[in-house]
Structure 1
Amino acid sequence: MAKTAKLYRMVMDKHVCPYGTKSKYLLERRGFSVEDHHLTTREETDAFKDKHGVETTPQTFIEDERIGGYDALREHFGIGRDTSGKSYRPVLAVFAVGLALAVSLSLALLDGLSVRTVEWFVAFSMAMLAMLKLQDVEQFSTMFVGYDLLGQRFVPYAYAYPYLEALAAILMAGRLLPWISIPVAFTIGTIGAASVFYAVYIQKRDIKCACVGGSGDVPLGFISLSENLAMMGMAIWMLWRAFG
């Protein structure tokens, strides 16, 4: 016998509830035939809420039992949202895309992987991380001064950091102006590595990293340290290559 679910969701001319759309997709993916009831006006939506004593829509009913909204539906199917908080996923996503771009360019332009692939990987990753920080420099700087040793003593550095990181990344990607990119990358990378090491391994603090911008929830730790070590390593390599 086919499983049936009733879904009540807002579908108006100027607003289609995204959680209602996702609830319908989740039910269908789980093999349910969905009786999709559209709430097309604010008055109809308010009347539905009053009738069932709920504060939000969408609402899903399975076998006449009210399951609730989208989050409740996920929990009903045993796929509740991860509420553990901090995650390395944002920064790992940046590294993964940076690596994919570097490999793609290497295969297309260099006919294979080389040292240039590693250079592009570091530069592209730095550029994307800088871009995330630049979305809200004010919020980034607030998180950054919470652990950065120089930022705590000289607040303007916290505002300048994402611009410096972006500048170094762009120049390094094209091997341009090494006399600018090398000292910038090495300086911010060294200060950053020392700050993360001190906060995590000496003070043993459990705080969020500003590496993906102020809105991120990435824990300050080894992955955060790796960003700074990569900048230091890239600067040393570029120095050796340019002047060695």
Structure 2
Amino acid sequence: MAEIGRHKYGISGWNPLPWGPQQTLRQAVQCHFRPQKSLLPDHQRLGSIFTARNIVNISGIKIKWTENIVDHLLLADGDQTVFIFPYVGFLKHNQSFLNPIYPVDFVEETLRTLSLLFPSNDTKSRIWLKGILKSNNEQQCPGKGLSTCGSLRSHECRFENFPYWHDRLVILKQAFDDSSPRTLNQWWNDRRNSVQWYTFWVAIMVFIMTVVFGVVQSVEGALQTYFSWRALQ
């Protein structure tokens, strides 16, 4: 599932896979999907916190399903939207071919990116994904196969294990790391810095308690004034 070639009179909004006049379709696909490691990440580990749920709930980046595998993990809209190719069945079906068009390692790695973002061993991610599917009509939502992707072990969550999607993962991880919470919900979900998280919520609790005690004291003072005035009548 990919946008193949550029159409002179067509506008799809997708990034096309280039197909040269002297290339076969297989050659075009395998020429485009090659390992790319031109960017250097700040850290080699992606970390267990790097999931689709946290990307949405902490950084505010929206997920948009795409039928074009060329756009997988691509950031758009000023780094506020990430495209995800969720068709697990399509990828697994390609693995059954004896001579597939897509490189075998590429397909396997694409499935691992989905395991990374939608880990089945993370309860919060499973519940969150179930809510997404329910709100988008589970029978028609393209992401319904994501719950079958499994999960990765800690040593597998490293950039070096994703040569094909390396650069896009680096960009997405950088956007995630550079994001700052803007809403209370994002502050609540952002546990990347535990000291900052506790400091923020302690400050919120102190503020609320100060307001509550201030209101109580004001009411108490008003009642005392009222009863004193009544006593003088």
Give the number of the structure whose residues are more often strand, by fraction. 1
TM above 0.5, yes or no, is: no
TM-score by length of 2: 0.24
Give me the TM-score of the superposition, normalised by structure 1.
Answer: 0.23
